[in-house]
Structure 1
Amino acid sequence: MGSYGRAIMTGYICRLCSEQKKKVIHLYSYKSRSLHLLEKIKLLPITVDKYDNLPKTICEGCIERLEMQYNLVQKIRKSNIIQRSHRIYHSNGRCPIECPLHGISDASWSTESDSTGDD
């Protein structure tokens, strides 16, 4: 495979894990654009500049982990929106039909206190 220096020049070093890999995707390729990798990398505490001196490739393992993280963040954002709108609909402690969580029978969503007296 050659030296570490050559691996960096030819794109075999992953930008995220810094491991030398045989199979990588270039961050500015069509495949990367179709996977929205640069958009997903923005969730990480790093910056990627097209003209910096760092590797411009990402390995398959990091792509899978990045995808899982991105999906988790999207799910959290969606859940937060649902929960906030759920609270807006409850002026009298009841869940109206318009509420996105109407019909869910989880006591933790209720704004009313437990009236069973089983404290």
Structure 2
Amino acid sequence: MGSYAKATMTGFVCRLCSEHKKSVIHFYSAKAQELELLRKLTLLPITIEKYDNLPKTICHDCIEKLNLQYRLIERIRKSFEIQQRHRLFHSNGRCPLECPLYGIENYLQQRNVK
């Protein structure tokens, strides 16, 4: 049996916020795979390596924040794609029916008037 003073509790420390939590999810667990945590973590300016000596867990608060960030980035990417396609349809300055943003100008004008 080892010394309690030398024991480390890295399994209960969140890798992102460094706080001790009672409930965490391990990055390589089935639940983490279901939540696609490793893919979402690639959005952050950190690297997660399977065999480094840092915590491999994330708390539920950080998962919520990570999901919010992920949804925002996905929304921005989709919007950017629509805007890029929108530009391709305009040769005369008018928005043709085939344009992904067709009718958006009228919608925006109606919102500003009311």
Q: What do you get for the CA RMSD once the two structures are aligned?
A: 1.7
Unaligned runs of 5+ in 2: 110-114
- The one-character-per-residue Cα deviations of 1:86-109 (angstroms, maximum 9, x if unpaired) are 1110100111111110011236xx
Q: Tell me by how many angstroms 1:6 deviates.
A: 2.5
Residue type of the alignment partner of 1:60: H
Residue type of the alignment partner of 1:88: L
- Paired with 2:27 and 2:94, the residues of 1 have a C-alpha distance of 50
Report SS of the residue matched to 1:6. Answer: coil
* Greater per-residue helix proportion: 2
- Paired with 1:51 and 1:99, the residues of 2 have a C-alpha distance of 49
| Residue aligning to 2:8 | 6
| Residue aligning to 1:114 | none
Q: Tell me by how many angstroms 1:5 deviates.
A: 5.0
| Residue aligning to 2:72 | 72
Residue type of the alignment partner of 2:82: I
Say how many residue pairs are matched: 104
| Residue aligning to 1:38 | 38
- Paired with 1:103 and 1:4, the residues of 2 have a C-alpha distance of 66
Residue type of the alignment partner of 2:8: R
Report SS of the residue matched to 2:99. Answer: coil
- Paired with 1:53 and 1:47, the residues of 2 have a C-alpha distance of 12
Residue type of the alignment partner of 2:104: I
| Residue aligning to 1:15 | 15
